[in-house]
Amino acid sequence: MLECDPPHRYAHTFKFTGYEDTPCAVTYELKELDDGERFSLIAWDMREGTKTA
């Protein structure tokens, strides 16, 4: 786990076990809006051209 701020944000490292790619990071964010909530899934530190990308 890289970051945890329930229930707004959670970040962790990620790696497909079947690929030789280096791990990347994934962040999930929830933001309350007037008419509901916005969910964001952000992948970062992912090397371009890899199978993961």
pLDDT in tens, the chain (53 residues): 999 999 999 999 999 999 999 999 999 999 999 999 999 999 999 999 999 99
Domain residue spans in the chain?
3-44
What pTM value is reported for the model? Answer: 0.84
Distance CA 51, CA 17 (A): 11
For residues 25 and 39, the answer to whether their CB atoms sit within 8 Å is: no
Helix (H, G, I), strand (E, B) or coil at 3: strand
What is the secondary structure of 4-53 as a DSSP string?
A: EETTTEEEEEE--TTS-PPPEEEEEEEEEETTEEEEEEEEESPPTTSS--
